[in-house]
Structures are given as structure tokens and as C-alpha cells.
Structure 1
């Protein structure tokens, strides 16, 4: 069975949502900052929303499904986190992408 390109776009968007959720959860676990706790909790909801969007794309409701995935991406980026300095000047891009922070 061949899928439309929208299916692959939706799956990639859902994977990004899951990645951001797990990274925020890891940062909260390591630092205990309440902003990242909130982001980790909301990440569960937005991950479920993006999964529903992928299901809609799979069932050939392409624009509804992609709309849900894009809505989840937008809402994930709008979570207000405390902007504390959690990385130092020597942190690499890989450390930031993986959510490596010093334990507190």
C-alpha cells in the first residue's frame, strides 16, 4: 500500500512532537524547573493530538489530519517555560538537543 506524501509529513510532525515532549520531560527530571514540568504535562496532550492527526491522514482525511498535527506543533511551541539559564557557555548543540543539563 502506498501512502500519500501527507502521511509522511504527518508522521514526521508527530515524531517532532514526541521528541520535544521527551526532551522537556528529561530537562524537568534533571533540573526540577516548574516550567519544564508544565511543558512535559502538556506534551502528553499534544502528542496524543498529533497521533490523532496521523490517524486522520492515514484514513485519507489529509488536511484535517495535517491541521491537527500543525496545531499540536504550534501549541507545543507556545508553552510558557521559565527561561532560566540551564545550559552554560560550553554546552554543545548536541547537549542542548538531547536535553543534557546539570543535575540540581
Structure 2
């Protein structure tokens, strides 16, 4: 087990987090761009999980598995999404949920 397994695990966790974020924004705003992102996030999370399991099962497949995880992260960030926030809030205010959304 090398450090690449930890990189793959972190990438998989980030992919799942981005999927849940898109699903949560769609649930609160019903914006169609986030709906598509949430649907695609299921597939990208499955790809990342498959990559992590490949890295976990065999050291010979670690580079291929890391490529699958990074591909899932790249695809998760693509795609058009609408603006949710007004524009003058800080990241802390967004995190705490004290701002209005569209």
C-alpha cells in the first residue's frame, strides 16, 4: 500500500462531496443545471469508487485507478450550472447558511 491509495481515497471523498453539494443545491433551488449535475454525480462517484477499489485491491493498478479517480473529479467539475448566490457574500457566510439564495 503506497501513498497513492490515500490520494485516491481523498479524491473519491471529494467526488462524493461535490455530488452531495449539487444534489443539495438542486433540492433547495430546483435549478435544472444542478439537477443534471446531481444525476451525473452518481455516475462520477461510482467511477471514483471503482478507481479507489482498484487501487485498494492491487498495487499494480494504482496508476490506472488514480487516473479513474482524477477523471471523475475532472468530469464532476465540468458542465453548466446557474449562479446560486447573489454575489457579495463571503465564503464563511455561505458556509454558515446566513445568506439568501435564489
Q: TM-score, normalised by structure 1?
A: 0.83
Matched, 1:64 2:57: no
**Match of residue 43 from structure 2:** 45
Indicate if the aligned counterparts of 1:31 and 1:102 stay in contact, CA closer than 8 A. Answer: no
Structure-2 separation of matches of 1:74 and 1:97: 23
In structure 1, runs of 5+ residues without a counterpart are none
**Match of residue 2 from structure 2:** 4
Q: TM-score, normalised by structure 2?
A: 0.85
Q: Relative CO higher for 1 or 2, CA cutoff 8 Å, sep ≥ 6?
A: 1
- Give the total of aligned pairs: 100
In structure 2, runs of 5+ residues without a counterpart are none
Structure 1 stretches (4+) deviating beyond 6 angstroms? 98-101
RMSD value over aligned CA atoms?
A: 2.2
